[in-house]
Amino acid sequence: MGAESQNLLGSSLGDFVDRFRDWIADNRAELAPLLPARADYDARVATAKRLRGLLYDAGWGRIGWPEEFGGHGGTILHRAAMYDELFRAGWGGPVVFEHLEIVAPTLVRYADPEFTRTVLPRFLDGSQPWAQGFSEPEAGSDLASLRTRAELDGSDWVVNGAKIWTSWVGYARWCLALVRTGTAEERHRGLTMIAVDLRSPGVTAGPIRQANGTDELGQVRFDDVRVPPSRIIGDVGGGWRAAMYLLAHERGTLSWVRHCGYRENLTSASKSMSENSDRQVGEAALGLLGVRSAAINLLAREAADRELGPDSAFNKLLTTRTEQTVYNTLRDIDGTRVAIPDGSDAAAVLQQEYLFSRIVTIYGGSQQMQLMTIARHILGLENA
């Protein structure tokens, strides 16, 4: 471990938190314009990139990632501690870099090491975000039925098809896509994960304007897009395994990041609550404590290099229900501010987040799918 890495990591996780907290305090003036969320989505993404760059240049943005891939060592526990402190300092959230906690662990585990050494630092410094291409126009929750194909032509793979509801594809440089390399009859056994450079000839991407007014989601087409073999993530035909690893992080450890934002919003709103809202705020706070506890267990499992397993489905279910409870509470405490923002960025973002919370039981695997996973793989109900 290098001297810079050791200086940042400290002697313990508590020591690390103290050092990062001190750095935030010492750099408050430079951080101040980069922490609050912007109502304009392009501006929000641009600010998120600048913050990632600042964290990377100071060394903090490399903490929690393997040194062999450009990181400074440490574990997901160090990353979680930094997210916690950033939110406490007024951060509006990772935006396009939410995929850092979903895609990057998958690259570290399954991608060609040389490819990961090339792309991970550019992900960490904010210059090249990633999108995740799973859902298709006729294959949403049923990933095993997807139709986007990749066929070998000489030494390259040629990709054709379409993805939809692709988060941040309009802002990303890379797309981690799940494609079919086998037959349709093979279902999940015929899938492969592949990294596509979105600047490649044959790629067309466009935004999907959401009901909350943001362009987070998009759609992308691949028309004879050539991809070198080094960008296969895992094994040809082994995409399902890599996809389940990725989704376990989306449904599991990512909940730590998301719940920190809910906590700060609820804390802020509770300062103006009436006596009649005590019980509702208490229920939302209890839900947040439950998410925090469940997430900590998954973080510890990830730090010990253990599989997250079906427990991530429980975490996803708990997190989405808590998110809706929190934003319902915020609506009930100050419905006028949520329904008719006062023109400030903070109020506009609150409305955007409230509207987004309506869909959280669908994306990343629907609530019904999570319930089935819990019934079958945690409760052992074979006929569920």
Active-site hit among 250, 302, 323, 353: 250
Nearest of 58, 63, 56, 52 to residue 5 by alpha carbon: 63
Burial class (CB in 10 A: 0-12, 13-18, 19+), 126: buried
Asked if residues 147 and 217 have their Cβ atoms less than 8 Å apart, the reply is no
Catalytic (active site) residue 250? yes
- CA 27, 257, 357, 172: dihedral to nearest 10 degrees? 80
Q: Where are the beta strands (DSSP E) in the chain?
A: 130-133, 149-153, 156-163, 174-180, 191-197, 203-208, 217-227, 232-233
How far are the Cα atoms of 63, 79, 109, 263, 329 from residue 322, in angstroms, in the given order?
29, 22, 30, 10, 10
Cross-strand partners of 66? none
Rounded to whole angstroms, the Cα distance separating 5 from 58 reads: 11
Cα 178 to Cα 70: distance, rounded to the nearest angstrom: 26
Single-letter code of the amino acid located at 293: S
Calculate the alpha carbon distances from 162 to 144, 206, 225, 241 in Å. Answer: 15, 12, 12, 22
Residues assigned a catalytic role: 250
